[in-house]
Structure 1
Amino acid sequence: MNLHTLREEWLGNVRGDVLSGLVVALALIPEALAFAVIAGVDPQVALYAAFCIAVVSSIAGGRPAMISAATGAVALLITGLVKDHGVQYLFAAALLAGGLQIVAGLLRLGALMRFVSRSVITGFVNALAILIFMAQLQEFHNAHWSVYALVAGGLAIIYLFPRITRAVPSPLVCIVVLTVLAVWLHLPARTVGDMGMFPDSLPHFALPMVPWTMDTLRIIFPYSLAIAVVGLLESLMTAAIVDDFTDTDSDKNRECRGQGFANIFSGLLGGMPGCAMIGQSVINVKSGGRGRLSTFVAGVFLLILVVFLGPWVRQIPMAALVAVMIMVCISTFSWKSLANLRTHPRSSSVVMLATVVVVVATGNLAIGVGVGVLLSALFFASKVHRMFAVETSTLDEGRARRYAVRGEVFFATSQALVAEFDFKEPVERVILDLEGAHFWDITAVDALDRVVHKFRRHGVAVEVLGLNRASATMVEKFGTHDKGGAAPAAGH
């Protein structure tokens, strides 16, 4: 990375990054406390993780302005480990998960994002917006009328204040104004302090107090693998979304490594593992954050707020943060995708809706995205299958037949290839013209072998022509019908 890029990523938007970082820090606190409850750990474990992961990923990550911290998806994965073996095993699992993510980055697995279709990403975004909104509804359960008034007032500030000035992020104004009103009027609204206790000291480095044996590895490895996979999936998907929001690109493989380093440092500082957070990332971008400084400031401010300014931060009404998160839901949801249901191909709409339904129903982002990717692959294979065809004609007054194969031959079309031939036809010779075909995998090569061998068993001579260079190389390497290989067609 050259000096100009480094300066641009850290100092290109100082004022906007600092202000947006403060907004994100305030929004991270109740989220971290809630995730601590889900994971069954002390609040400081989640708060230390939010600080550490944000700071380290801001330095080592590949997506400027993306916020990473303790997350609900990871919290759900570790409840069993904490309950059965204790928090020290959680710290050890964070170290191993981080190591696995670094390996994934070194193996350049971030490039796998190119196989995630736009429909899956849209479904992921919409599902996240729905889940974030649903999570806010608990604040309205048996709530005093003042809570509704504060949320409505907060939304009014968020959307109307930018018409006056954009010098200060409107979510920050919302939090400050509603806090002052709630304290001044002594409103009976739940506050951040009601979510849990804040730590009263800075984190310190320490190795997890676990026996460093194979038994420990057997305990933590399944959890670490799940944390690594889910964490990378969420982080890479969020990075793609922030790419779209900011119209910039990011280094997905560096992001894999950055998340790994962040989780390792979190485990060494007494924090839980985590990953990128789409909600806070959207808050950051919408509040003007664009550089690495915004993520760094969010982590540092969070630690300062909870350790040194805890008595004041505890007075922030949850209604203020609910208003901010509702803004995130509205901004995150792809409203255009609803109109696109009428115009986009039916397969794309099915993939998007399936991703939304599975994520919302299970609360598991990995399962939903996995279903979306699988459906995308099946629809793609079906589309390619429809483009496959075999044309036939007779030669030499009916003594020979020519089959011209057109399209892609792979596992989805191999059976169709075999089914196109009449092996009992009384001909002396068969010509397989493969100039318009491409063989992609060993299943396709096996299908070609079966066709040739079947004809030969019926006493029919077979001539294979027109294989392009890549297909001929694969047939020569894996085929059995002609170990000498088929000569590539001229000009291929």
Structure 2
Amino acid sequence: MPHKRAAFGESHLMPQSTLLARARHWLGSLPAACVVALVSVSYAVSYAVMIFGASGDALLQAGLPLMFVTSVLCLLVICFTSSLPFMLGGADSNSVGLLSLMVGGISATMQRAQLSPAEILATVTIAITLSSLLVGLALMALGALRRGNLVLFVPFPVVGGFLAGTGYLLWSGAFTVLTGHPLGLDALRTGIDLHWQELLPVAIVVIGMLGLPGRKFDHPLALPVSLALASAAFYGALAASGLSLAQARALGWMFAPLSLGHVQLPVQVSWSLVHWDILWRHYGELLALIAVTTLAILLNATGVSLATRREVDFNRELRSAGLANMLSGCFGGVVGCHSLSRTLLNYRFGSRDRVATLLAAVLCLVCALFFIPLLGYFPKPVLAGLLIGLGGGLLNEWLVRSRRLARGDYFLIVLIVAVVACYGFVTGVALGVVVACVLFVLDYGRVSCVKMEFTGATLHSKLERGAAAHAELKQLGQRVFGMRLQGFLFFGSANQIVHRVREQLQSPRQFIIIDFRHVQGLDASTSQSFVKLAQVCEQYKVTLILTGIADPIRRPIARAAFSGTAPREFADLDLALEWVEDRLLEQAMRNESRDALHSSLAEHFDAREMASLMARMEKVEMAAGTLLFRKGDAGDSMYFIDEGLVSISLPLEGGGRMRLRSFGSATIVGEMALYRGQRRTADVVTDRPTLAWQLTLASLRQLEQDDPATALRLHAYVVKVIASRLESTNEAYRLAY
């Protein structure tokens, strides 16, 4: 019974201790949540000013609460669906730059048309909603199809250019916040007339974010402290100057009083007030938002993964951000995504779970519901400093520190930023993609598409021939020149091939072999280059041979119109080499005696030794298709091929065979298993009627006992044959690698 009472007491104590532990954990996460909420609120206000501030106070009054919608929903959804529990989300500087262009363009167009503020507000609200919904759907689709890696194929200089262009847009937004005018040559004079009361808080925030020369402030509290100090400095400057809050608002240094009364959700919009034709003109920004947001998610998730050494599921992050944007769009929120800076800030405070994120979302919601009027006292120069710090970080990374990149890549980054500044973000990025493609083609054109070059003297077919034929091919092999191609062929690389063949035809050549086994594809213009190559070969009376052509590559070549003799084609390089060798040896084979094996052996054995060896071998005549021995058979004999052809092959699953090597007259086969005392490792089948001489293991042992001198000559002969094969194999590997 005492034991039971103790157990009963423990069952009541455990929940209390668990609750206390949870309470302590939540309280311990509160500082991180407060800092994250402060930074999120600061970003939300600064981004709202950048997107809506230039279009008038009415849009800012309606748009500021929507930024809090984005912050709260992104924090909650990404918190519960991300592969990392401490991941944070919210509006991102890259998408905000595009949104500011879109909203500013829509507002300016409608103001020039003298449309009412209600129509402007309705059109902008629907534009924001549609952008969030479309981005959300695209991200969900990419994540569901597991195609998040597609955006990684965007050229690196284009990524750097659009990030640096985003930095410029943030600086442009900061200039507008400070002066009320868009950044431009005509407005630079206004920027010079800024008062010290504005510049002081800007400088404090920028120093807190970017640091000083030789000193960077990496502490997680650096940004919150700099925001607080900048706000205090602003109010101190007002007091020192004797300016009131009303005068500061009149000078544009502070917001007009804010409230939730101007919020307009998408469901409250009157569709008759929406100008769809104006929205359609800005489809480019909508498409760019999808690409920019996807890229930002992958880049930020990669940065978090590297900094925290945690594995990240990129497709899951895309689905997470997609769901957050779809929910945000339903409530009129702007496009949001994962935040690298806020996530690392949360991580450095020790957060490893979702508690701090949940608390930060609650604090942001409370601020949106009850404290938005207090944001009217938030100094605009502090927000401008925040935008300058964000933009300065991007410009420093991609315009200053990226100077170590290749000259062409750095030039492309600078070009994109210049075009973004002069003609707009979408035009700059689009031009960057086009220029990157052109540079890629030029660079790829300088990369050799030739994997290997060879002649008939250095690379032979898998058909092993006698010593005399081998020596003959060594002499005649220079009449053959071949290239094994690789990669993707286009007009630039194909012209390289034609130029190289022209150079080779300055020497006496009879056959040109082009192997396509390692070619992944070719464009339409390449086929015309091979027509030109065929014409060149015909001019020099050389036979052009194409090998290893897959069906997708054969089709464009087949469509080409060969005016003269079409190239000869073989299924693989080995068959082409065998055919060429046969043509080269035709004259020599006609003059060669019928007894090729006897002639070959006579070079190594005298008449007595020859008679002793032949007396111990058995003559074997076989029809085509005869199985000489099978894989797994005992290695108890070897064969001297007198006439015909046999091949070593392996059976394939489909019923076919893969040829490893072939042996013609005056060669030997089966000696490896015999000398090593092991079983056969492959099948040997006759390809044509064959005459051979069989030497069994028992006969070899008898020869060693009865005639040691002849047996020693035989061993030396076999070693020489094996060494010759090894030499040919080494040469083939040397050419390949």
Q: What TM-score do the two structures reach when normalised by structure 1? A: 0.72
Provide the residue aligned with 2:572 in structure 1. 487
1:414 equivalent in alignment to 2:497: no
Cα 1:113–1:298 change in 2 (3 A) is farther
CA distance in structure 1 between the aligned counterparts of 2:63 and 2:512, rounded to whole angstroms: 70
Query: Which of 375, 384, 400 matches 2:444?
Result: 384
Query: Which of 30, 33, 46 matches 1:30?
Result: 46
Cα distance, 1:176 vs structure 2 = 3.2
Cα distance, 1:317 vs structure 2 = 1.6
1:462 equivalent in alignment to 2:538: no
* 1:159-198 equivalence runs, <5 A: 169-180=221-232, 182-183=234-235, 186-187=238-239, 188=243, 189=248, 194=255, 197-198=258-259
Provide the residue aligned with 2:88 in structure 1. 65
CA offsets per residue over residues 225-254 of structure 1, 9 Å max, x none?
A: 454344334444554555566565644433
Provide the residue aligned with 2:531 in structure 1. 450
Provide the residue aligned with 2:367 in structure 1. 305
CA distance in structure 2 between the aligned counterparts of 1:284 and 1:422, rounded to whole angstroms: 60
The amino acid that maps onto 1:440 is G
Query: Which of 181, 191, 198 matches 1:147?
Result: 198
Provide the residue aligned with 2:173 in structure 1. 135
User: RMSD in angstroms over aligned alpha carbons?
Assistant: 5.0
1:253 equivalent in alignment to 2:315: yes
Cα distance, 1:454 vs structure 2 = 4.3
Structure 1 SS opposite 2:378: coil
Cα distance, 1:362 vs structure 2 = 4.1
* 1:261-410 equivalence runs, <5 A: 261-271=323-333, 273-276=334-337, 281-282=340-341, 285=344, 288=348, 300-334=362-396, 338=400, 341=403, 344-364=405-425, 366-388=426-448, 402-405=481-484, 408-410=487-489
Provide the residue aligned with 1:77 in structure 2. 102
Cα distance, 1:475 vs structure 2 = 3.2
Unaligned runs of 5+ in 2: 1-24, 111-118, 180-190, 458-474, 559-565, 575-659, 661-732
CA distance in structure 2 between the aligned counterparts of 1:65 and 1:44, rounded to whole angstroms: 25
CA offsets per residue over residues 327-384 of structure 1, 9 Å max, x none?
A: 444544445974663x5432333333334433444451x5444444544444443333
* 1:80-229 equivalence runs, <5 A: 83=110, 86-87=123-124, 89-90=126-127, 91-92=129-130, 94-138=132-176, 139=178, 141=191, 142-154=193-205, 169-180=221-232, 182-183=234-235, 186-187=238-239, 188=243, 189=248, 194=255, 197-200=258-261, 206=267, 210=271, 222=283, 224-229=286-291
Cα 1:100–1:299 change in 2 (3 A) is same
Structure 2 SS opposite 1:194: coil
CA offsets per residue over residues 84-138 of structure 1, 9 Å max, x none?
A: 8834643355434432332233333421233245544444444434443443345
CA offsets per residue over residues 177-231 of structure 1, 9 Å max, x none?
A: 44455457754456885167442498878487659xxx99x95994654543443
CA distance in structure 1 between the aligned counterparts of 2:253 and 2:553, rounded to whole angstroms: 66
Provide the residue aligned with 1:4 in structure 2. none
CA offsets per residue over residues 46-84 of structure 1, 9 Å max, x none?
A: 532452353344444678234336723124235666748
CA contact (8 A) 1:200 1:307 kept: no
The amino acid that maps onto 2:497 is L
Query: Which of 468, 475, 481 matches 2:553?
Result: 475
Cα 1:205–1:381 change in 2 (3 A) is closer
Q: Considering Cα pairs closer than 8 Å and 6+ residues apart, tell me whether 1 or 2 has the greater RCO.
A: 1
The amino acid that maps onto 2:97 is G
Structure 2 SS opposite 1:67: strand
CA distance in structure 2 between the aligned counterparts of 1:59 and 1:177, rounded to whole angstroms: 34
Report the structure number with the largest CA radius of gyration. Answer: 2
The amino acid that maps onto 2:316 is R
Cα 1:383–1:153 change in 2 (3 A) is closer
The amino acid that maps onto 2:138 is L
Provide the residue aligned with 1:48 in structure 2. 66
Q: What TM-score do the two structures reach when normalised by structure 2? A: 0.51
Structure 1 SS opposite 2:374: helix
Among all aligned residue pairs of Structure 1 and Structure 2, give the percentage whose two residues are the same amino acid.
18
